[in-house]
Amino acid sequence: MAEPVRTVPSCGGLERQTGRIAVGLENGIPLSPFGCSLKIDYPVNLYDAHNHFQDDWLLPHRTAIDADLRAIGLGRAVVNGTSEKDWPVVADLARQFDWVQPGFGLHPWDCGNRSPDWQAVLRTQLAAEPSSVVGEIGLDRWILDRARPDDSRLAGLRRAPLDEQREVFLWQLALAAELNRPVSIHCLQAFGALHDTLRVTRLPARGFLLHAYSGPAAMVKKFADLGACFSFNGAFLKERHAAKREAFKLVPADRILVETDAPSMPLPVEHNRFTLPPAPDGEPVNHPANLAATYAGLAELRGIGIAQLAAQVEQNFLRLFGA
């Protein structure tokens, strides 16, 4: 496999101080982490609340991606296992890379293919990794109503009806509450059902994450009242996602997080700072280090400086996912 083609941040990369990214302040105004004239250093790490570093699309590029993530000042990334097959792969990555916080869960796309003993396997996997997250889990009506029958990402998967998804989701939520583990929730086109489920379910005291929240702006407060955090994905910077950006303007500061969902959900090209070759089927592959550009896009959207956003996200991430 060819070496990944990478574009690096302008100005030859980022200044570093005490092993952390230095986000400059000039006359009290935070500069972009891609800015050149860093004056007063504001030490802060970046956090990816949700990605899939275990994915085969990233496999040939893991060493380069690790170097790029260190260069942008990554503190930690939650790497979400979605099926019984990739839970051990995620556990291995957590042993190899100190920034990986593992997540183990049965994704709604994978729940139709679960084995008879998936619950015992999941419980064992979570017990073996005390810092692990329950995720990615959730509800998905899109695969039932809207996905094309020939979508290559769904090849070989039995698409479980919503009631079956809910049963699997509820069991995993109960386990997370029992263990007080953070939860990473996927939801596509099922936000009413999700709210109905969460409203009557015991949830982990530390709260939960709605990853790449694509629900209505009007439901942000309803979910926040139940303890939700919301992670902003760089793909939402695409012009057609104006409604999602409006929702993220309403997320309370103490509930905001940032994510890539890499290798999925690529940013619009003008925001991309790191590129990888396309997947074998021609799909674009999102580089996890585009996290920094995602922070920049969200800071602009919320009308605050990157340093302020990064400090807030660090606080939120450590509260939800553990220090």
Residues that bind Zn ion (CB under 5 A): 136, 261
Smallest gap from residue 104 Cβ to Zn ion (A): 13
| Contact between residue 43 and residue 18 where contact means Cβ atoms under 8 Å apart | yes
Complex with Zn ion: residue 84 or 136, whichever CB lies closer: 136
Q: How far is the CB of 136 from Zn ion (least distance, A)?
A: 5
Residues 6+ apart with CB under 8 A from 56: none
Name which of 50 and 166 has its Cβ closer to Zn ion.
50
| Closest by CA position to 79, among listed 323, 235, 263 | 263
CB-nearer residue toward Zn ion: 32 or 51: 51
**Of residues 32 and 54, the one with the C-beta less far from Zn ion:** 54
CB of 85 to Zn ion, least distance (A): 15
Question: Which is nearer to Zn ion, 68 or 261 (by Cβ)?
Answer: 261
What whole-number distance in Å separates Cα of residue 38 and Cα of residue 26? 7
- Least separation, in Å, of the C-beta of 108 and Zn ion? 11
Q: Identify the H or E element spanning 194.
A: helix 191-199
- Which residues, 6+ apart, have CB-to-CB distance to 12 below 8 Å? none
In whole angstroms, how close is the CB of 132 to Zn ion at the nearest point?
Answer: 15
Looking from the CA of 147 toward its CB, the CA atoms found within 13 Å total 18
Between 32 and 264, CB nearer to Zn ion: 264
Query: From residue 224, how far is each of 65, 198, 201, 234, 293 by CA, in Å?
Result: 33, 11, 15, 21, 26
Whether 72 contacts 79, CB under 8 Å:
no
Closest contact distance (angstroms) between CB of 95 and Zn ion is: 21
Other C-beta atoms lying within 10 Å of the C-beta of residue 314: 16
**110 vs 261, beta carbon nearer Zn ion:** 261
Q: Which tokens belong to 188?
A: 């596509």
* Distance in Å, CB of 52 to Zn ion, minimum: 6
Find the shortest distance in angstroms from Cβ 80 to Zn ion: 5
Rounded Cα distance between 240 and 233, Å, is 14
- Chain centre to alpha carbon of residue 237: 15
Amino acid identity, position 307 = A
Q: Which is nearer to Zn ion, 32 or 80 (CB)?
A: 80
DSSP class of 119: H
Residues making up the chain, counted from first to last: 323
